[in-house]
Amino acid sequence: MSAARGHAGGRVVSRSIVKVRDLVKDFHVTRGRGGPPAVLRAVNHISFDIQAGTTLGLVGESGSGKSTTGRLLVGLIPASSGEIELFGETITGGAGAPALAKVRSKLQFVFQDPHGSLNPRMRVGDCIAEPIDIAGGWSRGDRNDRVSELLETVGLPRAVAERFPHEFSGGQRQRIGIARALALRPDFVVCDEPVSALDVSMQAQIINLLLDLQEKLGLSYLFIAHDLAVVRSIATDVAVMYAGALVEQAPKTVLYSAPQHPYTQALLEAVPRPDPDRVRSAALGGEVPSILNPPPGCAFAARCPQAMDVCRVDRPAPRATGEGHVVACHLY
């Protein structure tokens, strides 16, 4: 079909299963009732790749555009401009719809809220089998075998298929959500804050489960989270977003040990550590700027302790500063 060219190109060039180039998402809103129209730029010209079998951790505070990016990536919402290539198929632009249809079965999504994302009136087995039922073509026996297999994969006893979601704890419900995401054997899973609603003692269980599944099934993840420590425990590479822009990306160890962007540095410094002897430096002032009709220049300039005149005028372009290390900052 029309997307066949993209497919061949993707296979030749690299093993990136996700390629994002200059992606933009605008939401059109009105300010106040009957107010003037405004543009909310949730995602502002971002580019990144995800290699097969790896995890890109996408971190940022509220309103940074990280969840919007996740939704764009699996085609839940259309991009305003830019390009998304998944498994060699370009799902944006004119031929995007048929291309997305071709790769859709390889994509899945795990949501933050394990309470809100499971239908309370469906038995757990039916929740998990819903993607199978929608895809069609499975016999009743195969379907039920697959549900049992999935439950085992996520560490739940088979018998829970007959019970209802409300009978389970948050951690168990997240296991059910993961089982459902795996039903059609996806290759790429977007996990949007999958452990942030969970207690600490449950978080580690789910993180370890996601790591085990990646090893066993060769999955690739986009792991979206606001918690930098959680991201360190699961990611291969990390990308940091601020007010719609991707300010820094690097292999995990590099990003945490030698962050370059002043925002990444401030963010890492602000995280309270379980170490009473540590003295944190004074908090970064100011708040995240409005992304309604954003000012020119760097989005972080107003809060940046190292801001220069150029930062308020010119938007810094992403620059490679090392192996896999890209920073959008005029300091580099």
Partner 1 sequence: MEPLLEVDDLTVRFRTDAGWMTAVDRVSLAVRPGEALGIVGESGSGKSVTALSILRLHAAPTTRMPTGRIMYGGRDMLTLPAREMRAIRGGEIAMIFQDPMSSLNPVLTIADQIGESLRLHQGLDHAAARQRAIDLLDLVRIPDAARRVDEYPHRLSGGMRQRVMIAIAIACRPKLLIADEPTTALDVTIQAQILDLLRDLQMELGMSVILITHDMGVIAEFARRVMVMYAGRVVETAPVGELFRRPVHPYTDGLLSAIPKLDVDVRRLPAIPGSIPDPTAVILGCRYSPRCPMVQAACRTEVPELVSAGPEREARCPPRVAMLGAVS
Interface residues with partner 1 (CB under 8 A)? 61-62, 169-172, 199-205, 207-208, 211, 226-230, 232-233, 252-253, 256, 266-278, 280, 282-285, 287-288
Give the 3-state secondary structure of residue 41. strand
User: What is the distance between the terminal CA atoms of the chain, rounded to a whole angstrom?
Assistant: 44
CA distance 259 to 269: 11
The answer to whether residues 108 and 182 touch, using CB atoms and an 8 Å cutoff, is yes
Decide whether 61 or 126 has the Cβ nearer to partner 1: 61
Q: Which of 330, 323, 328 is nearest to 247 (CA)?
A: 328
Decide whether 272 or 296 has the Cβ nearer to partner 1: 272
The answer to whether residues 46 and 328 touch, using CB atoms and an 8 Å cutoff, is no
The answer to whether residues 172 and 207 touch, using CB atoms and an 8 Å cutoff, is no
* DSSP one-letter code for 328: -
- Residue 229 beta carbon to partner 1: minimum distance, rounded to whole angstroms: 4
Give the 3-state secondary structure of residue 207. helix
Give the CB-side neighbour count of residue 62, counting CA atoms within 13 A.
1
Decide whether 139 or 201 has the Cβ nearer to partner 1: 201
- Residue 58 beta carbon to partner 1: minimum distance, rounded to whole angstroms: 15
- Residue 103 beta carbon to partner 1: minimum distance, rounded to whole angstroms: 31
Decide whether 82 or 244 has the Cβ nearer to partner 1: 244
Decide whether 91 or 225 has the Cβ nearer to partner 1: 225
193: left (phi over 0), alpha (psi -120 to 50) or beta: left
Give the CB-side neighbour count of residue 283, counting CA atoms within 13 A.
5
- Residue 127 beta carbon to partner 1: minimum distance, rounded to whole angstroms: 19
- Residue 197 beta carbon to partner 1: minimum distance, rounded to whole angstroms: 10
- Residue 87 beta carbon to partner 1: minimum distance, rounded to whole angstroms: 29
- Residue 201 beta carbon to partner 1: minimum distance, rounded to whole angstroms: 4
Decide whether 36 or 274 has the Cβ nearer to partner 1: 274
Give the 3-state secondary structure of residue 36. coil
Decide whether 283 or 317 has the Cβ nearer to partner 1: 283
